[in-house]
Structure 1
């Protein structure tokens, strides 16, 4: 499921914050649920590690990319498996992109939990406390992945 054009790159303090959260997650510190996602680059195969928030919603686990069509989201589409890690706990999982019409309630719950952290990265016209109509209108520009067993 591609075609999303929203992308907000990390800049300035975002890079420092991401490095700090990544370091904390590597050392087992649970900062607002952060874990590290490691995914191979789709062209180079070089491993990329970024902090993510795993959302438990309606019996499933999900990754949401509020920044939009990021490198990790594009790489996840191409990868067979990825690794989620916090401290010494490592899990190899598969990610399957969720159809845009199924994303609004997942994105809404994600924003309820982490909107304070990610609201400024959302697409133009969407805020951290969106209406159902706003969620539906912007769901196609915010990648969402279901996390499943890699087996």
Structure 2
């Protein structure tokens, strides 16, 4: 499977999701992750769908070199917002391939609404958990930890 370009409608959809969240409406599993930009330091926000695996929370960047994933790697912290509820979080990149596979395998079950996005990206052709697990080396996965970074 070759990777497809991002859908042209994605920036508009992201803006709409962020706006709806800002006015207090929750949309399924979607939350808005805000992290400092790695160059500007200004807040940068993107919709994500956190999922729980083994009692731990994760977010997945389907495009490993996306701007938001690079910002998370640089900052290591941010906030997650669901409607008007915000919580400070730390974000740690998951390097262990077995854990990455487990998280990806769980994605179609935990976040079924996110499956079409991964299909559109060309990472999988269906919601088959084994296809998701096989794509674990082509995405970035971050563990979400409660709280802020120590000073």
TM-score tier (shorter): 0.7 to 0.9
Tell me if structure 2 keeps the 8 A contact 1:84–1:93.
yes
Show CA shifts across 1:38-57 (max 9, x none). 01111221211111111122
Tell me if structure 2 keeps the 8 A contact 1:69–1:141.
no
Equivalent residue for 2:29, pick from 29, 33, 47: 33
Q: Aligned in 2, Cα 1:136/1:10: closer, same or farther, shift over 3 Å? A: closer
Q: How many residues align?
A: 145
Residue number in structure 2 paired with 1:3: none
Residue number in structure 2 paired with 1:21: 17
TM-score (structure 2 length as normaliser) = 0.81
Residue number in structure 1 paired with 2:147: 150
Which ranges of structure 1 fall in alignment gaps of 5 or more residues?
1-5
How many Å apart are 1:131 and its aligned residue? Answer: 5.0
How many Å apart are 1:129 and its aligned residue? Answer: 1.9
Task: Indicate the SS of the match to 1:12.
Answer: coil
Residue number in structure 1 paired with 2:126: 128
Q: Distance in 1 between matches of 2:75 and 2:44?
A: 12
TM-score (structure 1 length as normaliser) = 0.81
How many Å apart are 1:82 and its aligned residue? Answer: 0.7
How many Å apart are 1:68 and its aligned residue? Answer: 3.0
For the pair 1:117 / 2:143, whether they are aligned, the reply is no
Q: Distance in 2 between matches of 1:8 and 1:48?
A: 24
Q: Distance in 1 between matches of 2:70 and 2:113?
A: 25
Task: Indicate the SS of the match to 2:111.
Answer: helix
Equivalent residue for 2:88, pick from 64, 86, 92: 92
Q: CA RMSD, aligned part only?
A: 2.4
Q: Aligned in 2, Cα 1:13/1:79: closer, same or farther, shift over 3 Å? A: same
Task: Indicate the SS of the match to 1:103.
Answer: helix
